[in-house]
Amino acid sequence: MLEKVNSLEDLKKLNIEDKKALAKDIRKYILEIVSKNGGHLASNLGVVELTIAIDSVFNLPEDKVVWDVGHQTYVHKILTGRKEKMKTLRQLNGIAGFPKTNESETDCFNTGHSSTSISVALGMARARDVENKDNSVLAVIGDGALTGGMALEALNDAGYSGTKMTVILNDNEMSISKNIGGINMLLSKLRTKRTYTKSNISLKRIINKIPVVGKPFVKIVQRIKRSIKQLIIPKMFFEDIGFRYLGPVDGHNIEELERMLKITKELDGPVLLHVLTKKGKGYKIAEENPDKYHATGPFDIETGKTIGAKKKDYSKAFGDKLINLAKENKNIVAITASMKDGTGLREFQKEFPNRFFDIGIAEGHAVGLAAGMAKAGLIPFVPIYSSFYQRAYDQVIHDVAIQKLPVIMLVDRAGIVGQDGETHQGTFDMAFFRLIPNLVIMAPKDFRELEEMMEFAVKIKKPVVIRYPRGGENSNIKFQKCEKIDLGKGEILNKGKDVSIIAIGKTVSRAMEVANMLKKDKIEAEVVNARFLKPLDKEIVKKSIEKTKFVITIEDGTIINGLGTAIKELIIDENIKDVKIKSFAYPDEFIKHGKVEELEEIYHQDKNLIYNYIKTERKIKNNE
Ligand SMILES: Cc1ncc(C[n+]2csc(CCOP(=O)(O)OP(=O)(O)O)c2C)c(N)n1
């Protein structure tokens, strides 16, 4: 059936049986692609029928469908002319793993971060009303994403405004791991109810047709229904805030889904359609381990085993060390915004269930909560991915930094993350954190240094940021020693007189590699591990620059306001004359998807490029 469907027009011609067959084919196809390229598996397998139904009932691109997070849009991409290209999923210049307006006009909005869809859809619905158009607008949001503040803020606005729009709640009881929180408790009550609104809507339609007595009678009946509903469904939250609640409906029954979606088209005002789906549906291994197959690298379809041995990464190094620290200090607690696996906290939760807090996809709240805990005497560790820390910027300033509270903020997935693309690259955190007063900002060169930094962070009782990359150590370089950390003190890892290579975090090992490569050209490079972006070790840096007068900075962050900027400021402030400086950092742009190594090469982070640059510059300087 998949062969026959190349566009939405083809899809719309199919009958229900054909669509069921299509759903099977799509599952198989997604499994083939993701098992080769890696990607978000379980969420996509869970929305096959839902996507077929939405794309059949609505008229895209005139009607607008905003997919929350957007990690579950593979089915939609397959149905909208990108079937063949899906084989390039997440690869450099290939199809993105998230909706992209530049790929298809049926992708009406780019997403990647959680909980944005209701705001955006409401915006589109209000624009439609202002422009006197009559298209439908939908937000498709998971129960996990519904724990995010932005989604709740948007529900609050949408419900009250009475604007016509539909929120499809894709409820699979999972965020990446099991969903948590009060909203989840509410949903679990709703899940167990039989589809309620069928009779409600048909009754309303019939009654509405009766002239004169129609309208008041509808109101009375609705009031009675509402009281009954209050009895059978405790606290009808969605209805109380202004939504019409429909469902729950079986999210794997295309016929039923289409029927309900058609009803939503006819209704005025905001509607919430509650759809129950199973994450990983159709692939038993993923159904049984939906968290493991939420996002995966390439794997063997038969066994489900990931291809390639999994090496220890920074998240694991962090999680292990935190357990050790927590054993010694009972005030240490850990907070995650729905990412306990990704940030390495699974074992911590097992060991210290009472000192572990999964607070939903709510990064701002995570930091606010940590501030309260710190004020009350605890030592909170808050690991959040770099790009998601963007969500907590004000809390870092207002709740933590101004009050100098000892919250330890771990910026995981800092730098280039690769195939998730521009919404997920962690290249901005150094720039946006550097300008906040009172923050101490560090980045370790290896696992040992991370451990030292964590110990140091507990001791200094200040707001601390420690950033580290996706993946593990650079296996080409083994650092011999790791001194104890002193506030604002970097280290010289290799002495030299010809060029100062100043690096931080992940790029320190690259600086060492470059220095080693330069040896055969008889160029002596001094490698400085800055260690602290803030406060910068001015003494060590200044000494080195005054000696070599030729400076290279390397960092896996944006060119604006990072290490390179800090060094340039120092050169000017300290009036160091006749210095040649070149910064290797990411340009002032959003970096698309591709493998980390590919992107590093494109964006001049590759060791060979840096080596060649230094060699050429030396030749020019020496008139060779
Ligand atoms: C702001 C933000 N924080 C964290 C994430 C990481 N993340 C991606 S999907 C996801 C879970 C989403 O759960 P849900 O909305 O229920 O969708 P499902 O995958 O279960 O269909 C999380 C936490 C994100 N994309 N954005």
- Tokens representing 490? 């970097």
Separation of first and last alpha carbons in the chain: 67
Token pair, residue 164, equals: 């016509």
Q: In the chain, how many domains are there?
A: 3
Same domain, 547 and 430: no
Q: Where among 236, 270, 288 does a domain terminate?
A: 288
Tell me if 484 is assigned to some domain.
no
List per-block mean pLDDT (blocks of 10 residues) for the chain, which spans 624 residues. Answer: 97 98 98 98 98 98 98 98 98 98 98 98 98 98 98 98 97 94 92 62 53 61 63 71 95 98 96 98 97 96 90 97 98 98 98 98 98 98 98 98 98 97 98 98 97 98 98 92 90 97 98 98 98 98 98 98 98 97 97 96 92 93 76
DSSP 8-class letter at 294: T
Residue 309: inside a domain: no
- Is residue 211 domain-resident? no
What's the pLDDT at 92?
Answer: 98
- Write the CB contacts of 283 (distance below 8 Å, at least 6 apart in sequence): 27, 31, 41, 45, 293
CATH for 267: 3.40.50.970
Residues 153 and 9 both lie in one domain: yes
pLDDT confidence of residue 199: 46
Query: Within this chain, do residues 455 and 578 fall inside the same structural domain, yes or no?
Result: no
In angstroms, what is the C-alpha Rg of the chain? Answer: 27
Question: Does the CB atom of residue 172 touch ligand 1 within 6 A?
Answer: yes
- Residue pLDDT, tens place only, 261-291: 999 999 999 999 999 999 999 999 999 999 9
**Domain end call among 272, 288, 304:** 288
The pLDDT value recorded for residue 222 is 67
Q: Are residues 419 and 561 in the same domain?
A: no
Name the pTM for this structure: 0.94
**Shortest-distance Cα residue to atom 19 of ligand 1:** 43
Beta partners for residue 385, in sequence order: 412
Q: Are residues 120 and 26 in the same domain?
A: yes
Ligand 1 closest atom vs CA 170:
21
Which of 467, 483, 502 is at the close of a domain? 467
Nearest Cα to Cα of residue 139 among 156, 129, 124: 124
Domain match, 562 and 608 both: yes
Mutate to test the pocket of ligand 1, among 98, 175, 293 (most ligand atoms within 8 A of CB): 175
- The minimum-distance atom of ligand 1 relative to the CA of 294 is 19
Which residue is associated with the tokens 């498709």? Answer: 140
CA 439 to chain centre: 24
Q: 395 with 501, same domain? A: no
Residue 463 main-chain phi, psi, to 5 deg: -70, 125
pLDDT in tens, 150-178: 999 999 999 999 999 999 999 999 999 99
Alpha-carbon distance of 379 to 332, in angstroms, equals 5
361 CB less than 6 Å from ligand 1? Answer: yes
Q: Are residues 64 and 152 in the same domain?
A: yes
- The answer to whether position 196 is within a domain reads no
Q: Is residue 475 one of the residues assigned to a domain? A: no
pLDDT at 619: 83
Q: How far lies 142's CA from each of 71, 295, 458, in Å?
A: 11, 15, 37
Q: 320 is in which domain, residue-wise?
A: 314-467
* H/E stretch holding 375: helix 363-375
**Domain assignment present for 18:** yes
Same-domain check for residues 329 and 411: yes
For residue 44, report the distance from its CA to the centre of ligand 1, in Å. 13
Residues 463 and 497 both lie in one domain: no
Whether 473 maps to a domain, the answer reads no
Q: Say if residue 277 is in the same domain as residue 319.
A: no
CATH number at residue 502: 3.40.50.920
Q: Tell me, what's the pLDDT at 620?
A: 84
Claim to verify: residue 28 and residue 123 sit in the same structural domain: yes
What's the 113 CA to ligand 1 centre distance in angstroms?
Answer: 7
Residue 450 in domain: yes
Query: Would you please indicate which residues are annotated as catalytic (active-site) residues?
Result: 279, 363, 391
